A and B are shown apart, each in its own frame.
Chain A
């Protein structure tokens, strides 16, 4: 008999299921709106020009393949911190931070979660917005922490339940951990406005909470890297020493290269050194040291003025295409004669949109129109093109009229 007879089959991934069903569908009009990766207006993956240029530069330099330090490529981690915090950030200039390279967003979140489990003894509770990215819960759980929630999304208005959030957060036990999406909330696309962020910062400060920012879409949300990092920077300016996870999967299209970073804002540079030494102790038994390729591409882009400029233009064009698809979807819905209020589609930001569609309506979209999305009505706007936005609007109108 086998050691593994008692091992249960793991439940299928719901999002993967969407893509698999999509692949099997023979309808020529089919649309995959489950995809969590950017697509160009032809529905194809997009390799950024600045990435290609960086790769060419790297190839010409004929570098060796020696192990990176445990904490990663120094030029990359420094540039990452500067990108998130801003070059004028007091925390950045005084080096009272530590940034380690992580395996894209997931790996960075996990390093942080493990670090908090080991060193943040005040609480085992991590408060997530309702809803949050599906993988947040198992990441923190596997790291040995417990999950709680605060109100966030209001399904009635398809927007932020701000008073609910403030109410819940004001009751979170002191010194708990709260996770906030820095921009382009996944899966809802609903972000607080700046005045709301200010109030959130005040209550979080009052409750003395440990703030964990997940920033997976800097630049990709509004098209402006500074605007998208505003909340993170504001919190730090308010004296809130946050921890932060960054991903370059979407904003540089480096998905499979796994480029990311985890940052801890500390009291001073000395503390940052101590924290760094402990982060390395966590990373070493996980995978020893991080992969170079993606971090090196990102580092070349961030640290080479011409490439950086080009990147900023390209990330803005990706964000602009997404915003334009949102606008076209709404105008097409109006043209179809829909009487519903679809304003949330353009109010929301980033890759994802919580349409407000109900499971039965989603079911019909899949079965009758071959338009694939998750049951919660979330669509990836990246899957919408000028060629299929009309069809999408038509289909949505059919199932909602």
Chain B
């Protein structure tokens, strides 16, 4: 047999969260708690019930049954840009029913494979068409820290100059607004900025409306392009509108922007890969041309998107009753996370755990940057069998009424014993 062309292919390093999860699986201790990511799978965060179980939303079960019973449905190809009813409804959810951009017919939508797929299509388009025909050298700014896949998406889309912008202030455990604004002032004009619409991953720290206004003002003045990543709409505060405030504010300020939406968390449709890239442009003509080029990109990436998840979301969003049920289901998830936050904080404060713990309730969404240092994290894992990321990031979904006391006590021990 001839020597292999792949002899030189190196083994890619395992990803930290995957290794963590594997360790968790092998841990035989009955007290073990996985705050690494909440699922058995690498890198990926998912909601858990108070019993620590995955949760298929009741409205999703209902709609799936409707789809299964509908014999008029088949498995034919969707259009390249996706299911029309899905696209229109998905963008409407992000931009709001009364969005001026929708009224003025200057929005476009691309059904995508999850939020990741939407980011990738947007990135590929920007590299080809954003500011002239070749944007490999256009700077792309990603928050420090951010979801680690953001970097890979833009690298693989061909961008060569990827930078970070200040975001997390570890000392004060909050947003480094001044650092962020300074970076925007110094960024070359026309740079692309990846903004988390809400529930910043991994810090859980979002700008306030006033802070967003300051950010928007700088971006407008310096011609910086806003590319929103909206993976948690509804899931963060429990309110769809509240979680979309930043995106809608930018639209009202006249920005052209992209918003990559994921329905993985707020619909619990993780494995059906339901996402949408919303495009807001100056006018319909521009948006049409943009969509025509995005179609070309989609065609060579996946041809046309998967049907099942889009049908579920479209059916739900276009029925007033199902829509109301969905909002209720979303609020259930958001409320449980909010409860876990307040319960954890109050226990730490009762225990007199050194330090301040208001950041636990001030942060929002699935994740929290606890402030635990790597040594303290190691203590948590080795001595208490509580698994969290070396960064101190915990997935709040891993907390339940049953393990709150144990987790709080363990954090207390870690902080008092280890410096």
CB distance from A105 to the nearest CB of B (A): 8
Contacting A at CB under 8 A, from B298-349, are: 299-309
Task: Bits for B34-61, please: 1 = Cβ < 8 Å to A, else 0.
Answer: 0000011111101000000010100011
List of A residues within 8 angstroms of B61 by Cβ: 62
Q: Are the CB atoms of A65 and B76 closer together than 8 Å?
A: no
Question: When the two chains form their complex, are residues A67 and B153 in contact, meaning their CB atoms are under 8 A apart?
Answer: no
Q: Is the CB of B77 within 8 A of A289?
A: no
Cβ contact within 8 Å between A239 and B75:
no
B contact face: mostly helix, strand, loop, or mixed: loop
Bound CA–CA A254/B304 (angstroms): 13
C-alpha spacing A220/B396, complex, angstroms = 49
Contact A285 B152 (CB under 8 A): yes
A6–B130 alpha-carbon span in the complex (Å): 9
- Closest B residue to A144 using CB positions: B158
Q: What's the nearest-Cβ distance from chain B to residue A52, in Å? A: 9
Q: Tell me whether B130 and A8 are in contact (CB under 8 A).
A: no
Within 8 Å of chain B (Cβ to Cβ): is A327?
no
**B75 and A256 form a contact (CB under 8 A):** yes
Chain B residue nearest to A120 (CB atoms) is B5
In the complex, the chain A residue whose C-beta lies closest to that of B305 is: A258
- Bound complex: CA of A288 vs CA of B152, how far in Å? 11
Give the Cβ gap from A268 to chain B, nearest Cβ, in Å: 9
Q: Which residues of B are found within 8 Å of A175, using beta-carbon distances?
A: 5
With a cutoff of 8 Å between Cβ atoms, the chain B residues found around residue A255 in the complex are 75-77
The 8 Å CB contact of A10, one of B6, B256, B292, is: B292
**Contact A135–B152 (Cβ < 8 Å):** no
Q: Considering only CB atoms and an 8 Å cut-off, how many residues of chain B contact the other chain?
A: 80
Q: Is B290 an interface residue (CB 8 A)?
A: yes
B139 to chain A, nearest CB (A): 16
CB <8 Å contact, A291 and B309: yes
Among the stretches B94-102, B198-206, B232-240, B278-286, the one at the interface with A is: B278-286
Contact in complex: B272, A106 (CB < 8 Å): no
Q: Does A273 lie within 8 Å of B11, measured CB to CB? A: yes
Contact indicator per residue, chain A 267-290, by CB within 8 Å of chain B (1) or not (0):
100010111011011101111111
Q: CA separation between A67 and B68, bound complex, in Å?
A: 21
- Nearest Cβ in chain B — how far from A139, in angstroms? 5
Residue ID in chain A nearest B298 by CB atoms = A106
Q: Give CA–CA (A283, B117) in the complex, Å.
A: 10
Judge whether A4 and B281 touch: CB under 8 Å: yes
8 Å CB interface, B2-23 against A: 2, 4-12
Residues of B within 8 A of A13 (CB): 299
Q: Are A106 and B303 in contact (CB under 8 A)?
A: yes
Select A68's contact among B7, B271, B304, beta carbons within 8 Å.
B271
Chain A residue, CB-CB nearest to B61: A62
In the complex with contacts A9-B288, A285-B120, A3-B10 CB distance below 8 A = no
Contact with A along B337-379 (1 / 0, CB 8 A): 0000000000000000000000000000000000000000000
Q: In the complex, how many angstroms separate the beta carbon of A179 from the nearest chain B beta carbon?
A: 15
Assess A286 versus B11: contact at CB under 8 Å? Given A103-B302, A267-B6: no
Give the contacting residue for A67; candidates B155, B271, B281; CB below 8 A. Answer: B271
The reply to whether B156 and A2 contact each other, CB–CB distance below 8 Å, is: no
Let me know if A122 is at the binding interface, CB within 8 A. yes
* Nearest-neighbor residue (CB-CB) of B68 within chain A: A59
- The answer to whether B149 has its CB under 8 Å from any CB of chain A is yes
CA distance A110 to B300 in the complex (A): 7
Contact A277 B75, beta carbon cutoff 8 Å: no
Q: Are B303 and A9 in contact (CB under 8 A)?
A: no
Cα distance, A56 to B65, chains bound together (Å): 10
Smallest Cβ distance from A119 to chain B, in angstroms? Answer: 5
Shortest C-beta distance, B146 to chain A (Å), equals 13
Closest to A294 in B: B306
Can you list, as one digit per residue, whether each of B81-104 has a CB less than 8 Å from chain A (1) or not (0)?
Answer: 000000000000000000000000
Q: Does B269 make an interface contact (CB < 8 A)?
A: yes
When the two chains form their complex, are residues A267 and B4 in contact, meaning their CB atoms are under 8 A apart?
yes
B120, A7: Cβ atoms closer than 8 Å? no
Decide yes or no whether B403 CB sits under 8 A from chain A.
Answer: no
Contacts of B41 in A (CB 8 A): 66-69
Known: A4-B289, A6-B133, A67-B270. 11 other contacts (CB 8 A): A8-B289, A10-B289, A66-B39, A67-B39, A67-B44, A103-B306, A106-B303, A142-B297, A284-B116, A285-B116, A291-B306
Please list 5 pairs of residues, one from A and one from B, whose beta carbons are closer than 8 Å in the complex, sorted by A's number. Answer: A4-B287, A51-B75, A239-B2, A255-B77, A284-B116
Q: Which positions in A face B, CB cutoff 8 Å?
A: 1-10, 13, 37, 45, 47, 51, 55-56, 59, 62, 64-70, 103-107, 110, 119-120, 122, 135, 138-139, 141-143, 175, 208, 210, 239, 241, 249, 253-258, 264, 266-267, 271, 273-275, 277-278, 280-282, 284-294
